[in-house]
Structure 1
């Protein structure tokens, strides 16, 4: 009932332990606190909060228009509603080193288990679009050093994302990833790898966990979790998938409503009232309310 009873510190410990495990963690992307609950109910390892999703929820493109306050608020709302560890997209850190430090502390206070900071120029672009640019190595590593220095809980996972592959090729991406690890990154988000061989090359070159982004309609093929595990990937995210599925369903429902004047045809594919009440623990709230209402103080 209400919020998660698992502390942020325990969630961070769980995340770190999972990254050190031999299996591959799977973090679907939540676009609301309720979807985070559903991800937990379905048995996944954790919850991802995508910067693209947060921007799109506001009706904005993913070009660096969201603010730290918006991201920290939404990440905190999602993290509070699940016992799972939450990894959040912190874009470029919302500025340069001092801004990055503030970003880390704000997201740490929001209760996330980890965050990633990328090496694109600010403002950034979606990692699977053309036309993006990256900063030089000194700027990229400076962001990670600032993030590592700013965290107060040493268990908070600081992940570095590199977008160099799409601009300068795989070898440059490996070199950049190594430099980011040397700067203190706990893990690497290797964006827009072309094939499994490239994921394997990144994993083989590093001694820290590597994340793979399996986003639909992107630069990377949609490999299975087993395929990625076999080449050494430690973690997979599906950042926008649930929002895309939900928006597709909403669009079809609106078409049916406009055409038929009723949603009767869509009811079989809807979440039922009983399923929703179970997900939000309606009975737990009722029990709590009844206990408070019936409470008496003996004289």
Structure 2
């Protein structure tokens, strides 16, 4: 079963998919190892790995490259940020082709102008509703497999209103999108309203410290959300741990030993590669030795 088909099966189960955010293969494997059913590749995290803020500075090629590496390191579906589709309908068409070719199960495309900004920052700008829907139509037409999931993200709550966000989400669903992503509802009442007013599966972006109020995952599922992504969990934790460990080292303190190089490499398939060391040698020579 393809990754895209696996994700479709998860969506059909009616159990909310929780996809923590990965920034690379290390975090992608950690999420899969922890038993989650899907991984989300965060654009903000990908930007950070390349030394940039989430300001739409990363190219489509860089984003697809990171997604492809994560896909190759895990055995569960990857949902990926694809920003604005990196241009107009033509760019969106190619963007879908490249992400699908890389083995990604789903992408979300947003209605900000290019280059975009993180959805939980101020002063975002939108493309027209007509331009956004044209991109969604292009995305739906570009996929080779109908299992590949198109997620339509709208940032119009912050720029215009919740009503505009709901209208854009519904228009996207009517024109080929499979899931609606209303970014940054600002109150619990708005979080509750989105799955009621949007005519299709909804994604909730859980950004702690952002514009959306804190919400328990159990509550989000009860409200009817199909997917919850948690993009900043590992990135934020990594930065905190790095600062703490480096601060301790600066003061001459080492943390307790928690593993060894062998245990670390075991997380990344060392046993399989060890078997390959001798698996392809000439059996006669191997026996003689």
TM exceeding 0.5: yes
**Structure 1 position 214 matched with structure 2 position 206:** yes
Aligned position for 1:96? 88
| CA 1:212–1:117: 2 relative to 1, 3 Å | same
Q: Distance in 2 between matches of 1:23 and 1:178?
A: 22
Aligned position for 2:46? 54
Provide, for residues 60-99 of structure 1, a one-character-per-residue CA deviation record: whole Å limited to 9, x for no partner. Answer: 1111111011011110000111111001100000000001
What's the offset of the Cα at 1:271? 5.8
Pairwise CA RMSD: 1.7
Q: Distance in 2 between matches of 1:96 and 1:271?
A: 49
Q: Distance in 2 between matches of 1:80 and 1:256?
A: 35
Alignment of 1:103-122 (within 5 A): 103-122=95-114
| CA 1:201–1:291: 2 relative to 1, 3 Å | same
Pairs aligned (count): 286
Provide, for residues 148-180 of structure 1, a one-character-per-residue CA deviation record: whole Å limited to 9, x for no partner. Answer: 111111110011001111122211211111111
> Structure 2: 5+ residue runs without aligned partners?
none
Question: What is the SS of the residue equivalent to 1:159?
Answer: strand
Q: Distance in 2 between matches of 1:115 and 1:48?
A: 9
> Structure 1: 5+ residue runs without aligned partners?
1-8
Judge conservation of contact 2:79–2:107 (CA < 8 Å) in 1: yes
Aligned position for 1:289? 277
Question: What is the SS of the residue equivalent to 2:176?
Answer: coil
Question: What is the SS of the residue equivalent to 2:2?
Answer: helix
Q: Distance in 1 between matches of 2:259 and 2:45?
A: 22
Provide, for residues 253-288 of structure 1, a one-character-per-residue CA deviation record: whole Å limited to 9, x for no partner. Answer: 11111112x42xx235x5654542331121221112
Query: Structure 2 length normalisation: TM-score?
Result: 0.94
Question: What is the SS of the residue equivalent to 2:238?
Answer: helix
Q: Distance in 2 between matches of 1:32 and 1:275?
A: 19
Question: What is the SS of the residue equivalent to 2:40?
Answer: strand
Q: Distance in 2 between matches of 1:149 and 1:117?
A: 14
Q: 1:267 aligns with which of 256, 276, 280?
A: 256
**Structure 1 position 86 matched with structure 2 position 84:** no
| CA 1:183–1:271: 2 relative to 1, 3 Å | farther
Q: Distance in 1 between matches of 2:33 and 2:208?
A: 23
**Structure 1 position 160 matched with structure 2 position 152:** yes
| CA 1:222–1:132: 2 relative to 1, 3 Å | same
Q: 1:278 aligns with which of 263, 266, 271?
A: 266
